[in-house]
């Protein structure tokens, strides 16, 4: 191999290496895309309806003061068939603060955990009935109710002390 051929071969090799390194440099390195975590809605204060109901077994009568949506929810959730309204109130629930509510027979503490979207809130309801306690954390949709009950005995026909929280705005 002559000196000229060697120089030419070296120049071509150098050019190929330079072009390939440029091609590699032009290709951006593919990094994994960062996962987007949706921002949580800031919890705002909401106002919820709170109903205290006494449920018994009987002929299927309901207090006329109980609205139709709540009555349907009670009938679907409980074994009892008669419902008498004990008390009702509206509770203003500040974000992440427990709100105590005095009932006709017992007490309740309701905490607004978060607003999930414009039509749903997550609540913790701690119900201290005359005979028994019940605690529940649940997601409540607008116009719906969470039903928390405490049976008054273990008998199959036991009466129940019921707390319904919902229709939060």
pLDDT digits (tens, 9 = 90+) for 97-151: 999 999 999 999 999 999 988 889 999 999 998 788 889 999 999 889 999 988 8
pLDDT surpassing 60 at residue 93: yes
Position with higher pLDDT, 8 vs 116: 116
Q: What is the pLDDT of residue 139?
A: 93
- 38-73 residue pLDDT tens: 555 555 789 999 999 999 998 888 999 999 999 999
Q: What is the pLDDT of residue 21?
A: 55
- 21-43 residue pLDDT tens: 555 545 556 666 666 655 555 55
Domain positions in the chain are 46-166
Helical ranges in the chain per DSSP H:
3-26, 68-77
Residue 74 near residue 93 (C-beta atoms within 8 A): no
Instruction: Give the position of tokens 């949706």.
Output: 38
Helical ranges in 37-131 per DSSP H:
68-77
Q: Which letter does DSSP use for residue 136 in this model?
A: E
Residue 88 CA, distance from chain mean position: 24
Element (H, E) at 14: helix 3-26
Residue 58 near residue 82 (C-beta atoms within 8 A): yes
């Amino acid at each position: 191999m002559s000196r000229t051929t060697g120089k030419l071969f070296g120049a071509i090799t150098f050019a190929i290496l330079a072009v390939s390194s440029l091609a590699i440099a032009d290709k951006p390195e593919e990094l994994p895309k960062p996962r987007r975590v949706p921002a949580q809605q800031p919890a705002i204060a909401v106002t919820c309806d709170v109903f205290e109901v006494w449920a018994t077994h009987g002929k299927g009568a309901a207090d006329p003061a109980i609205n139709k949506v709540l009555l349907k929810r009670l009938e679907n959730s409980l074994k009892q068939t008669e419902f008498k309204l004990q008390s009702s109130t509206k509770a203003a629930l500040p974000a992440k603060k427990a709100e105590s509510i005095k009932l006709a027979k017992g007490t309740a503490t309701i905490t607004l955990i978060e607003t999930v979207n414009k039509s749903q809130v997550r609540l913790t309801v701690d119900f201290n009935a005359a005979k028994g306690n019940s605690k529940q954390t649940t997601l409540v949709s607008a116009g719906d109710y969470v039903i928390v009950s405490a049976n008054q005995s273990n008998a199959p026909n036991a009466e129940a002390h019921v707390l319904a929280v919902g229709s939060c705005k």
